[in-house]
Amino acid sequence: MHISNDALRLKREILARLITAFYTDDFEENARLIPFDMRPKGCEVTYRCCVYKERAAIRNRVMAGLGVALENDNERTPIEAYVRVAQKRDKPDKEVLTVLESACQGCLPNAVYVTELCQGCVARPCLNTCKFSAIKFVNGKSFIDPEKCKQCGMCIKACPYQAIVKRIVPCENACPVDAITKAPSGHAKIDFDKCITCGKCVAACPFGAVHEKSQIIDVLTKMKLGFKVIAMLAPAAAGQFPCSLKQLNTALRKIGFFDVWEVALGADVTSKNEAKDYLERMERGDKFMTTSCCSAYNQLVKLHMPEMSSHVSETKTPLYYTAEMVKRQYPDAVTVFFSPCVSKRKEASDNDNVDYVLTFEEMGALFIAFNIQVGKCAETEFALESSKQGRKFPVLGGVADAVKAVLGDKAKDLKPVLIEGLNKQSIRELRRYAKDGVCPSGNLIEVMSCNGGCISGNAVINSVKTSFKEVGSYADAGRDILEIE
Amino acid sequence: MEGLKKVNVQVCLGTTCFVMGSSNLQELIDTVPKRYGDDVEVSGVPCLGLCSIDWKFSKAPYVKVNDEVIKEATIDKVLKMIERKLAE
Ligand code: SF4
Ligand code: SF4
Ligand code: FES
C-alpha cells in the first residue's frame, strides 16, 4: 500500500534488519536480537502497553519475515529454530497470509451504537426508521438492542445529530468475500478455504496485524548456495523507485541477481493470446469475456464464482509466459518474481516455473540493507524489448487497450468494461453478468482486484499518482506491440 | 530586501527514505509552492547522508527545512515546520 504509516515502516524496517542479519556471521543470534535492537531497554514505548508487548509483536513480525505461519507458533520455539527452517525448506508455505496475534488488537465486533451525542429529541426518527424494532429509549436516550439490530444503518442516516455510528472491524470490513472473521478469542482469523489473497485486509488493519509470509530468506539462501537467481520485474516496477527501470536492473544485479527480465514481455504474449481468444468467443456467439491476469480475481472465480469460469479468458498471465521464457533460457535457474501484491504468491505456488515471489516492499528492504542508492546506479539494458502496451498493463484499462491494439481493425465491436477493484458491490455485478450470460455495458471485462490496477497493489511503495506518471512515460517510450517481432 | 523570507525544503528521495515513506512526501513538491508562493521552495534531493549515520535508529524519511532536520517526516510535520520558519 502506498499510504505511509508507522505499521508499514515497522514492517519494512524489520525486513531490512532481517536481511542485514542474514549476511552476518551469526544469523540466528542476530535475528533473535532484532526485537531487542529495535526496542532496547529503557526506550520510549510508542504504541503498546509496555516494551515487552512491543518486542513480542516485533518477534512475530520477524517470524513472518522468515516466512513462518504464526498460527502454529507455540511461543516456546526460539526464533533461531525458525531461522533454520527458513534456510532449509525447499518450498515456501502455500498459504500467503498470516495473522499476528500479538499485534491484533482484537477490535470490538461490528456494531451500530448510539453515542452521547443523542439529544433524546422529540421526533425520535431513529425509533421510527428501524424496521427491526431494535431501538428503545432508556433514560430518555436512544439505545440499540444488539440482539435485534441487523446493522442496516437506517438509523444512522435518520439521526439529525449524527449521534449514531457504526463501529467496524477494519479487516472484516475490507474483505470482499468474508474470509476474515473474529475467532472466539476476539482475534482475527483467516479462513484459507475462502481467502482469495487479495490482501485488502493487510492494507486495512491499522495495527498491521495481517502479514504476508516473506520468501526473502529463501531467495537469499539460494543465492548464497550459488544458484543462478533471475529477477522478473512486474511492469508496475517501472514506477516504484526513484530511478529508471534500467537502473533498477543494475541495482538488482548488485544484490546478486544473475539476470533481470521484464514481465512486460510476457504481457505482450498475453495480449496476443487474449485477442485471439476474444475473437473466437465472439465468433461463436459469446456475449462477453473477462481478462485473466489478476490472480486475486482468478482465485475469486475458483473459490466463489465457478459460474463465471466459462467466461474467463483461457490466456495465461504475463508472469506465466515470462517465467516460461526464462526457464527455457536458464533451465536450472531459480526464478523470482517482483510483485506489486501478495496475491501473486498464490499464483506462483501453482506454477513450477516461478520459484519465489518477492514484493516491491521487499525489494526496497533489500536496497536499504545493501545500502544501494538506486538513483546513482548506471543503466543496464534489457536483452529483449517490451512493447508500449505491455508496459501499460498495471494501469487500469491497460489490458483492454492492449487487446484492442492487437485486434486493430477487428476491434470495432470491442467494448471494454473496467472493473475497478474487487469489493462486495463489484462482485455482485460480476455474478449478475455470469448468471445472465451477458454484460449490459460491454463485452471485454477487465477485472483488477486493486482500484486503479496493479500500480495500487498492496505491496507497492510509490504513491499511485507518481507511479501512474512513471509507468505512463516508460510506456510512451516503447514501440507498438505490432512493431515488435 | 528585509522581510522577504525564504524557506528551503529538501525532501530526501534517496532509496532508504523513499522506501520508508518519502514517496508520499513527493506531493509536497507540487502543493507547497502553490500554497506559499515564492516564500517557500521545495525540492526532492538525493540521499542526504543521514540514513547511514542514523540507520540504527531508523528515523527515515528525512526532510531538511533550511538547516533543521525532520526525522520520521510526515506531510503534517513538514507543513508545521514551514509555518514555524515563516513566522520566525
Ligand atoms: S486477503 Fe482478501 S480474501 Fe483473504 S482474508 Fe484478506 S481481505 Fe479476505
Ligand atoms: S490487481 Fe494486480 S496488484 Fe491487485 S491483486 Fe490483482 S494482480 Fe495483484
Ligand atoms: S536516503 Fe534519505 S538520508 Fe539517505
Residues of A within 8 A of B24 (CB-CB) are 2-4, 463
Mean pLDDT of A327-349: 96
Nearest to residue B61, comparing CAs of B31, B22, B33, B28?
Answer: B22
Q: Which of ligand 3's atoms lies nearest the C-alpha of A373?
A: 1
Average pLDDT over every residue of B9-34: 92
What CATH number corresponds to the domain at position B58? Answer: 3.40.30.10
Coil, strand, or helix at residue A11?
A: helix
Q: Nearest CA of chain A to the CA of B4: how many Å? A: 32
Average of per-residue pLDDT values in chain A: 93
Contact B15 A241 (CB under 8 A): yes
Q: How confident is the model at residue B2 (pLDDT cuts 50, 70, 90)?
A: very low
* Lowest mean pLDDT, pick from A303-312, A319-328, B36-45: B36-45
Q: Which of B10, B11, B16 to mutate to test the pocket of ligand 3 (most atoms within 8 A of CB)?
A: B16
Taken in order A52, A58, A64, A66, is the CA torsion positive or negative?
Answer: negative
DSSP-derived letter for residue A133 is: -
The counts of H helices and E strands in chain A are 19, 15
d(CA A33, CA A10): 16
Residues of A in contact with B58 (CB under 8 A): 9, 13, 38
Q: From CA B7, how far away is CA B67, in angstroms rounded?
A: 10
For range A146-164, the mean pLDDT: 92
A38 interface with B at CB cutoff 8 Å:
yes
* pLDDT at residue A341 is higher than 50: yes
B18 interfaces chain A, CB cutoff of 8 Å? yes
Domain total in chain B: 1
| pLDDT confidence band for A291 (50 / 70 / 90) | very high
Which ligand lies nearest to the CA atom of residue A199 in the structure? 1
3-state secondary structure of A331: coil
Q: Is the pLDDT of residue A309 over 80?
A: yes
Domain with B47 in it: 6-87
Cα–Cα distance measured from residue B32 to residue B48, given in angstroms and rounded to the nearest whole number: 21
Distance from CA of A483 to the nearest CA of B (A): 35
Q: Is the pLDDT of residue A189 over 60?
A: yes
Q: Once rounded to an integer, what is the mean pLDDT over residues A138-156?
A: 92
List the single residue in B23, B24, B58 with the smallest CB-CB distance to A13: B58
Could you give the ipTM of this predicted complex? Answer: 0.89
Residue pointed to by grid coordinates 508545521: B80
Is B52 contained in some domain? yes
- Identify whether B1 is part of a domain: no
Which grid cell sits at A92?
515456501
Q: Is A228 buried (19+), middle (13-18) or exposed (0-12) by CB count in 10 A?
A: middle
Give the ligand 3 atom nearest the CA of B60: 2
**Residue B36 placed within a domain:** yes
Cα(A103)–Cα(A56) distance, integer angstroms: 8
Compute the CA torsion angle A221, A222, A223, A226 (nearest 10 deg).
120
Q: How far is B6 from chain A (nearest CA, A)?
A: 27
Best mutation target among A18, A373, A376, A470 (most B Cβ atoms within 10 Å) is A373
**Confidence at residue A93, expressed as pLDDT on a 0 to 100 scale:** 82
Range A235-252 average pLDDT: 97
Average pLDDT over residues A217-224: 97
DSSP bridge pairs for A97: A212
CB pair distance less than 8 Å for B24 and A372: no
Identify the band that residue A101 occupies on the pLDDT scale cut at 50, 70 and 90.
Answer: confident
pLDDT at A177: 96
